[in-house]
Amino acid sequence: DIQMTQSPSSLSASVGDRVTITCRASQSIDKYLNWYQQKPGEAPKLLIYAASTLRSGVPSRFSGSGSGTDFTLTISSLQPEDFASYYCQQSYTMSRAFGGGTKVEI
Amino acid sequence: EVQLVESGGGLVQPGGSLRLSCSASGFTFRNYAMYWVRQAPGKGLEIISAIGDSGVTTYHAGSVRGRFTISRDNSKNTLDLQMSSLRPEDTALYYCVKDLVPGNWNPMLEYWGQGALVTVSS
pLDDT at B14 over 90: yes
Closest CA to A99 of A43, A19, A38, A23: A23
Q: Is A44–B106 a contact, with Cβ atoms under 8 angstroms apart?
A: no
Nearest by Cα to B68 from B6, B17, B21, B24:
B17
Give the pLDDT mean for B89-103.
97
The percentage of residues in chain A with a pLDDT greater than 70, rounded to a whole number, is 100
Asked whether the predicted pLDDT for residue B119 surpasses 90, the reply is yes
CB contact under 8 A, A49 and B112: no
CA distances (Å), B121 to each of A3, B45, B93, in order?
30, 21, 14
pLDDT band at B122 (very low <50, low <70, confident <90, very high): very high
Per-residue model confidence as pLDDT tens digits over B36-67:
999 999 999 999 999 999 999 999 999 999 99
Torsion of CA A21, A27, A32, A37, to 10 degrees: -30
Residues of A in contact with B114 (CB under 8 A): 43
CB contact set of B92 (below 8 Å; sequence gap of 6+) = B38, B39, B40, B41, B43, B117, B118
Residue range B91-102: mean pLDDT, rounded: 98
Q: Is the pLDDT of residue A106 over 90?
A: no
Minimal Cβ distance to A100: which of B44, B50, B61: B44
Mean pLDDT of A66-90: 97
Cβ within 8 Å, pair A43-B114? yes
Contact B109 A44 (CB under 8 A): yes
B83 burial (CB, 10 Å; 0-12 / 13-18 / 19+) is buried
Q: Is B59 helix (H, G, I), strand (E, B) or coil?
A: strand
A83 vs B: CB within 8 A: no
